[in-house]
Amino acid sequence: MFRIHVHRCGHTPRPTPLVSALVQVCILFPGAGLVSAQSSPTIPGQAFPYRPIRIITSEIGGGGDLVSRVIGQGLTTTLGQQVIIDNRPPSAPEIFAKAQPDGHTMMLYGNAVWTAPLMRTVPWDPVKDFAPVMVTGRTPHILVVTPSLSVTSIKDLIATARARPGELNYASSSAGSSTHLAAELFIALSGVNLTRIDYKGVAQAVTDIIGGRVQLMFATAGAVAPHIKTGKLRALAVTSTQPSALFPGLPTVAASGVPGYESAAQFGLFVPSRTPEAIIALLNQETVRVLNKPEIREKLLGAGIEVVGSSPDQLAATIRGEMARFGKVIKDSGIRPE
């Protein structure tokens, strides 16, 4: 267990027992004084964490919920405080924005945290209000088509769509969702004309593609993997920049004729802005430790989620990049939440 004590500058720290062979390192951050990395920060005289930690996340049973529970179980052991999962769809970001910046409240949420503000006014700013901890994991989209559509590659699909402008339909969940934006990015970069069919749930959309009522979809891997294996759906490409361990041998959209294409459902872990850097570093370190366990990686991969465990800076870069890329797509296509 690691803890960080906060000491005011100019005061002599009280001696504390060493944890393993950890060497005391002091980091200066505004307003809090010196932080020694042999225990865990917040306010003078208190060691972090000194009460249960809450992870606010999305709906029960979703990918974010699964990742949150895996992380919560691991951190409960390593940090010595219970981690409580608080499912709050769709108000999680709004609730989280009001949390105290002491590390005892985190949020694990998907792309909507940073794409929703591009479409509508929201009571949070993903850059100013939230401090990144890491990208915990991602689920690339898989471009699937109904077997009745005689295309076997991205180039075939583009050629067919250009020959039949507006005739091919694609399924997506709610406006501005990751599946919707993945399709609109493809349309923008490939120059094809596809017609969107809106679905309230992914299950019905997949059923209609299998039945040939809709021709294609950029679906999350977990939603279509069983149907690809049985031949009920045909997979053309994966939307990540690199081939995915979820579907070995499946080419990427970018390498198949749409340069620069990249899309995935990503799960970001955040703390409130102004949370001390030492707490962020500790939470990042211990969460990476949990996610890197072979059994955890295998469990998440089985659910269609690739473990990432990035640095805080990498999550910040992901947010900036996606807001720029999808901001243009949203503006040009006129996407508005329904």
Q: How many separate domains does the chain show?
A: 2
Model pLDDT for residues 197-218, shown as the tens digit of each residue: 999 888 999 999 999 999 999 9
Determine the 3-state secondary structure of 4 from DSSP. strand
The residue-averaged pLDDT of 12-36 equals 36
Decide which of 206, 224, 256 is a domain's last residue: 256
Confidence tier at 45 by pLDDT (50, 70, 90):
low
Confidence tier at 168 by pLDDT (50, 70, 90):
very high
Q: Which two tokens stand for residue 229?
A: 């294996």
- Within 10 A of 167 (CB to CB), how many other CB atoms are there? 12
Confidence tier at 221 by pLDDT (50, 70, 90):
confident
Q: Determine, yes or no, domain membership for 34.
A: no
Q: Are 241 and 163 part of one and the same domain?
A: yes
H helix or E strand, kind and range, residue 74: helix 63-79
Q: Are 134 and 164 part of one and the same domain?
A: no
Looking at the chain, the whole-number percentage of residues with pLDDT higher than 70 is 86
Model pLDDT for residues 54-83, shown as the tens digit of each residue: 999 999 998 999 999 999 999 999 999 999
For residue 26, pLDDT over 50 is answered with: no
The answer to whether the beta carbons of residues 215 and 170 sit under 8 Å apart is yes
Q: Are 208 and 65 part of one and the same domain?
A: no
- Within 10 A of 279 (CB to CB), how many other CB atoms are there? 26
Confidence tier at 1 by pLDDT (50, 70, 90):
low
Model pLDDT for residues 308-329, shown as the tens digit of each residue: 999 999 999 999 999 999 999 9
Q: Are 130 and 271 part of one and the same domain?
A: yes
What's the confidence (pLDDT) of residue 41? 47
Q: Are 149 and 78 part of one and the same domain?
A: no
The answer to whether the beta carbons of residues 275 and 218 sit under 8 Å apart is no
Could you tell me the pTM of the whole model?
A: 0.84
d(CA 80, CA 96): 23
Looking at the chain, the whole-number percentage of residues with pLDDT higher than 90 is 79
Confidence tier at 10 by pLDDT (50, 70, 90):
very low
Give the domain range for residue 74: 48-139+266-333
The residue-averaged pLDDT of 140-162 equals 96
Average pLDDT over the chain, rounded to whole?
Answer: 88
For residue 28, pLDDT over 90 is answered with: no
For residue 292, pLDDT over 90 is answered with: yes
Q: Which two tokens stand for residue 83?
A: 């981690």
d(CA 142, CA 105): 33
Cis peptide before 123 (omega within 30 of 0): no
Mean pLDDT lowest among 4-13, 48-57, 123-132 = 4-13
* Residue showing tokens 């211990």: 286
